[in-house]
Amino acid sequence: MTSAKPFTISYKNDDNWFAQVAPQLKASFDEDKLSFDNEIGKGDFYRVDIDLGLRVRKIEVMFHKTVIFKRKSTQNPGYYVLVSNLSEQYLETETGEQQFNLGYGSENGLYFSSPLLTASYTFKPGIHYHLIFIILSHERIRNFITRQPETQQQLLLSFVDKDRPVYHVECLDVNSMNLLKEIDRHLHDDRGNNLLIHARTLELCYHTLQRVEKRQSNNQPIQIHKDDVLKLNEIRRSLLDSYQESCPPISEAAQRATMSPTKFKMLFKQMFGHSYYQFYKNVRMHKARELLLVQKMNVSEVGYMLGYNNLSKFTRAFKHVFSVTPGRLTGP
């Protein structure tokens, strides 16, 4: 028996997003909310227009079939998007030729993309998804950047060149998660504090730009050959799959990628925003967080699964990444 063909929703990130999506979902909508409850699924989409060129969307949905949201490339008007998945399950995401799982429990917690790139989000049936989208015009991003210190402006402006497709993925740090939770709490039917949503959205945008600038300024980006990109992504995938094992030494990873250790370290950090060893530590701690929160395992089980014979070392490593101990995270 063949599986049912996915249901595809096509759209552009423009001023009429609700009007584009609603007929495809057989949904009703007004200026602030889109809702549906039918054979496709059940969901509520909320929208707040914060300021000119800046808006927030919240999606809470469960589908009865596989649904793919496909974003088309746009230029006029062109909107950048900052997406976070607050669901317990990952969201399969594709942009350009890259595929990754978007989720707060992975190293891919925040996804930033320019309007020149297509993107698709695959929603699996029977899973409750909970997403926050921040939509920004190119002019609004430039306005953000021109308020940064002059030493940072040139680098950031080159990163958001409106004629160059670009995307950026970051893990969710504690600051970003707290800001998203506040935005999320106030995006509902009876919201009465748009000023707080406005303030937290601006703060999240600022915090994300600071992280982008920090990553980009470590070394001026160099063009990476497509073969090297494939090799580095293979190394990255092997680290994600072998989180229970000891981290292979850089010399071994560089040899697998057919690079010198110096070149490997430089390109790995440029592509993924962290040094090789720090990336692996983040992978392990984000996996630990997933096991604690989603799989409901206890701290000892997770620590021993990751190879920590001394749980105090596991606690210190976890707190270094999330600023909270695993015991405090899971509660009493």
Nearest of 330, 329, 312, 219 to residue 273 by alpha carbon: 219
Question: Rounded CA gap, 13 and 70, in Å?
Answer: 10
Looking at the structure, tell me whether residues 192 and 74 fall in a common domain.
yes
Amino acid code (one letter) for 95: T
**Which of 218, 248, 273 is the last residue before a domain boundary?**
218
For residue 177, give the nearest of 324, 48, 46 by alpha carbon: 324
How many domains is the chain built from? 2
Do both 182 and 268 map to the same domain? no
In a domain, 55, yes or no: yes
Asked if 213 and 298 sit in the same domain, the reply is: no
Residue 279 CB coordination number (10 Å) = 22
- The owner of tokens 């606690």 is 315
Return per-residue pLDDT of the chain as tens, 332 residues. 445 789 999 998 777 889 999 999 999 999 889 999 999 999 999 998 888 888 999 999 999 999 999 998 877 657 888 999 988 788 999 887 678 888 866 667 788 888 888 889 999 999 999 999 999 888 888 887 887 777 767 766 766 776 777 777 777 766 787 788 888 888 876 665 678 888 888 888 888 877 776 666 655 556 667 788 778 878 887 888 888 888 899 999 999 999 999 999 988 887 776 789 988 888 888 888 878 877 788 899 999 998 888 899 999 988 887 778 888 877 65
> What is this structure's pTM?
0.67
The continuous run of DSSP H or E covering 9 comes out as strand 7-11
Question: Are residues 213 and 232 located together in one domain of the fold?
Answer: no
Looking at the fold, whether 241 and 125 belong to one and the same domain comes out as no
Burial label for 174, CB within 10 Å (0-12, 13-18, 19+), is exposed
Q: Around Cβ 131, how many Cβ atoms within 10 Å?
A: 20
Kindly state whether residue 1 falls inside one of the protein's structural domains: no
Residues 6+ apart with CB under 8 A from 306: 243, 244, 284, 287, 288, 314
Q: In what order do the strands lie in the sheet with 67-71?
A: 7-11, 67-71, 119-123, 91-95, 98-102
Task: Answer with the one of 202, 218, 234 that is the final residue of a domain.
Answer: 218
- Kindly report, residue by residue over 174-223, the tens digit of the pLDDT: 678 778 888 888 887 666 567 888 888 888 888 887 777 666 665 555 66
- The parent domain of residue 308 ranges over 226-330
Residue 146 contacts residue 152 (beta carbons within 8 Å): no
The H-assigned helical ranges of 160-298 are 174-185, 194-218, 226-241, 250-256, 261-272, 276-293
Last residue of a domain, one of 181, 199, 218: 218
At residue 256, the pLDDT reads 93
The verdict on 182 and 244 lying in the same domain is no
Q: Which residue has the tokens 């998007």?
A: 81
